[in-house]
Structure 1
Amino acid sequence: MRWLEIRRHAPTKKGVARGRGSHLSASGVGLARAVGAELGSFELVVTSASPRAIETAIAMGWAVDDAVDMPSGYVPGEVGHHDQWGWPQPYVRYAELLADGGGLAAVAAEHRKIWTEAVRSVPDGSGALIVSHGGSIEPALVSCLPDADHASWGTPFGHLDGVRLDFEDGRFTGARLHRAPGAPS
């Protein structure tokens, strides 16, 4: 069996200090260090091409093996920026939207492809880490486990929240969601 750990990037600077690419704040670096120390080892680390995702992996203690373009889960006409925070059951809502087969389904499929390629590239008995973005992780997770109890998954991913997916026989078979300690969302 292999596994895939997916984490949302750490908290970023705000206001004028934000800068291009939303660089991590000092508290974001500290939180990333704490979360990284708890995760164990990975054979492969992939991030989005965004500086905040790359910086998160490095602050967690990992060298980045690859940084790839990952499409946004905020799809005009389907999901607005941070809409998921207003939904009473976000993962159930994502399942409904994915069933419609629109642009969000295409985004989720692209993330699922990236995730699958990453976990397939590591040896059996090991795992890969992906650092990505809120609003993209959630629909991809639902896409990977369409028959799961989505109502039980709770809130969308805050900063450094994540999920560990089991991967067996060429497919994702289970998920354990993890919430970062005291992370602002």
Structure 2
Amino acid sequence: MRWLDVRRHSLTKKGATRGRGSHLSADGIALARLIGSGAGPYEHVVTSASPRAVETAVAMGCAVDDTVEMPSGYVPEEIPRHAQWGWAEPYRRLAEIVREGRAAAAVAEAHRAIWADTVGSVAEGGSALLVGHGGAIELALVACLPDAPHDTWGTPFAHCDGVRIGFTGGHFVGVEFHRAPRSPVRPD
């Protein structure tokens, strides 16, 4: 069995200081450091090409091996931006959308392929880390485990939330959610 840890990027700067690519805030760096202190080791680390994803992996204490352009999980006319936060059972709803086989299904498959390629590059028993974005992680997760009990998975991914998923025989198996700590200084 190989293991893939997937994390949503950490907290970003807001307002005029946000900048292009939404760089991490000081709170975001602190949160990623905290998460990184209990994570790994990783044989392979991949992030989206966005600075906030790369910065999250680095703040976690990881060297980034590769960056990948990852399509947005927000698909016009299928999944509006941040819609998953308003759904009572977001993963069940996303699985229904993926089963419809339209544009969101293609995005989910693109992410599933990136995840499989990332974890497939590590040795048996090894682990890889992928840092991505909210909206896309949830969509990819239902594509990786289409027959899982999606209605039991809870809330969408907040900053630095993660999942550990097994990979064997070319298929993803099992899922373990890792929610990042929430503090009063962290706006959600």
Q: TM-score, normalised by structure 1?
A: 0.98
SS of 1:24's partner is coil
Provide the C-alpha distance between the structure 2 equivalents of 1:157 and 1:12, rounded to a whole number of angstroms.
Answer: 15
SS of 2:80's partner is coil
Q: Which position in structure 1 is the counterpart of 2:56?
A: 56
Q: Which position in structure 2 is the counterpart of 1:113?
A: 113
**How far off is 1:179 after superposition?**
0.3
Provide the C-alpha distance between the structure 2 equivalents of 1:128 and 1:72, rounded to a whole number of angstroms.
Answer: 22
| Structure 2 unmatched runs, 5+ | none
**How far off is 1:168 after superposition?**
1.2
Identity, in percent, stands at 62
Q: How many residues align?
A: 185
**Map 1:75-90 → 2, pairs under 5 A:** 75-90=75-90
Provide the C-alpha distance between the structure 2 equivalents of 1:56 and 1:102, rounded to a whole number of angstroms.
Answer: 32
Provide the C-alpha distance between the structure 1 equivalents of 2:30 and 2:128, rounded to a whole number of angstroms.
Answer: 22
**Map 1:121-132 → 2, pairs under 5 A:** 121-132=121-132
Measured against aligned partners, the alpha-carbon deviations of 1:53-72 in whole angstroms (never above 9, x if no partner) come to 00000000001000010000
Is the CA contact (8 Å cut-off) linking 2:2 and 2:127 kept in structure 1? yes
| Structure 1 unmatched runs, 5+ | none
**Map 1:28-177 → 2, pairs under 5 A:** 28-177=28-177
Provide the C-alpha distance between the structure 2 equivalents of 1:109 and 1:142, rounded to a whole number of angstroms.
Answer: 10
Is the CA contact (8 Å cut-off) linking 1:165 and 1:172 kept in structure 2? yes
Measured against aligned partners, the alpha-carbon deviations of 1:33-62 in whole angstroms (never above 9, x if no partner) come to 000111120000000000000000000000
Provide the C-alpha distance between the structure 1 equivalents of 2:84 and 2:139, rounded to a whole number of angstroms.
Answer: 10
SS of 1:85's partner is helix
SS of 1:7's partner is strand
Alignment RMSD, CA only? Answer: 0.8
Provide the C-alpha distance between the structure 1 equivalents of 2:165 and 2:136, rounded to a whole number of angstroms.
Answer: 16
Q: TM-score, normalised by structure 2?
A: 0.97
**How far off is 1:20 after superposition?**
0.6
**How far off is 1:184 after superposition?**
4.2
Is the CA contact (8 Å cut-off) linking 1:159 and 1:184 kept in structure 2? no
SS of 2:180's partner is coil
Measured against aligned partners, the alpha-carbon deviations of 1:93-138 in whole angstroms (never above 9, x if no partner) come to 0011001101110001000001001111100011100000000000
Is the CA contact (8 Å cut-off) linking 1:161 and 1:178 kept in structure 2? yes
Give the ranges of 4+ consecutive aligned residues of structure 1 lying more than 4 Å apart after TM superposition: none
